[in-house]
């Protein structure tokens, strides 16, 4: 007869001690792996700090020290009264000593009309060092083209003065009554026509525009008002144009 515990060592999954030992081994392996990775990462981060590498010579930059000011002054060159200075190549260059604000032509006083005029700064009768344009110091002023006169735009005519219709009606000196249309008499049409008028400085009606009114009555009213005359309106003693409203009433007798 076999022993009942003979096959107990073969059943590993059912052994609680074996399972517990396996868990402990996995935990130890994870802890050791994490510790090794942390040590390796620390070495990678600390190595450049304690052992910095040197850059190649072409990447080495020498910083410029800040300027502290002071120092020795440059030696002053002796001032010379001669307007000519020696060029390094041996060519003599003419340098003007001063420039006027406005170069002008100086008239000749010796009576010689053949000699060219003395032009401000530069060589008399000639061109300056490099440029001969009018308006530039040392350039030709006699050959500069005259500037065209500045043309000012014409002044805009003054606007007509707005006058009250009652005030303007008091200045009426010549009036013609409009002709009552036959059609309006037959249909017993009455009404009021209002016209916007611009009266000139001589008192005559210059412009006329219908504002309100029956079309049958507006034409005879316009023809009559165009012949009216007013006293000129004065502003500061000067006659001015006037804009006002003229009212014409059509009433059957």
Per-residue pLDDT of the chain (253 residues; tens, 9 = 90+): 445 555 545 554 557 888 888 889 999 999 999 999 999 998 888 887 877 666 555 656 667 777 665 555 656 665 555 444 444 444 454 555 554 544 444 544 554 455 454 444 444 444 444 444 444 555 444 455 677 888 888 777 788 889 999 999 999 999 999 999 999 999 999 999 999 999 999 999 999 999 999 999 999 999 999 999 999 999 888 999 999 999 999 998 7
What pLDDT does residue 96 have? Answer: 53
With CA atoms as reference, report the closest residue to 175 among 231, 234, 232, 218: 231
Contact 195, 248 (CB under 8 A): yes
Tokens 């073969």 locate to 10
The model's pTM is 0.40
CA distance 208 to 218: 11
In the chain, domain spans: 161-250
Question: What pLDDT does 214 receive?
Answer: 93
Cα 174 to Cα 104: distance, rounded to the nearest angstrom: 67
Bridge partners (DSSP) of residue 119 are 105
Could you tell me the two tokens for 129? 């060092």
| Domain 161-250 = CATH 3.40.50.720 | no
What's the pLDDT score for residue 242? 93
**209: closest CA among 226, 192, 188?**
226
Using left for φ > 0, alpha for ψ between -120 and 50, and beta otherwise, residue 25 falls in alpha
pLDDT recorded at residue 87:
45
**pLDDT in the model for residue 179:** 92
What pLDDT does 133 receive?
Answer: 46
Residues 6+ apart with CB under 8 A from 13: 19
- Give the residue carrying structure tokens 């001015």: 240
Burial 159-177 (b: 16+ CB within 10 A, else e): ebeebeeeebeebeeeeee
The pLDDT score that the predictor gives to residue 85 is 44
């Amino acid at each position: 007869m076999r022993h009942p515990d003979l096959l107990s060592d073969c059943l590993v999954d059912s052994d609680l001690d074996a399972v517990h030992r396996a868990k402990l081994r996995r935990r130890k392996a994870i802890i050791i792996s994490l510790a090794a990775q942390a040590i390796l990462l620390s070495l990678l981060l600390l190595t450049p700090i304690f052992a910095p590498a040197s850059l190649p010579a072409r990447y080495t930059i020498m910083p410029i020290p800040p300027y502290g000011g002071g120092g020795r002054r440059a030696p002053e060159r002796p001032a010379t009264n001669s307007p000519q200075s020696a060029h390094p190549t041996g060519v003599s260059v003419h340098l003007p000593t001063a420039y006027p604000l406005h170069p002008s032509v100086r008239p000749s006083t010796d009576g010689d009309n053949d000699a060219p005029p003395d032009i401000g700064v530069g060589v008399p009768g000639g061109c300056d060092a490099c440029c001969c344009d009018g308006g530039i110091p040392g350039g030709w002023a006699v050959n500069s083209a005259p500037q065209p006169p500045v043309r000012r735009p014409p002044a805009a005519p003054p606007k007509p003065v707005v006058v009250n219709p009652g005030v303007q009606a008091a200045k009426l000196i010549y009036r013609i009554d409009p002709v009552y249309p036959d059609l309006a008499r037959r249909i017993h049409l009455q009404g009021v026509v209002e016209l916007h008028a611009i009266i000139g400085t001589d008192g005559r009606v210059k412009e006329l525009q219908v504002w309100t009114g029956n079309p049958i009555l507006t034409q005879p009213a316009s023809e009559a008002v165009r012949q009216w005359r007013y006293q000129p309106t004065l502003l500061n003693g000067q006659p001015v144009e006037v804009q006002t409203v003229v009212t014409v009433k059509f009433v059957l007798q």
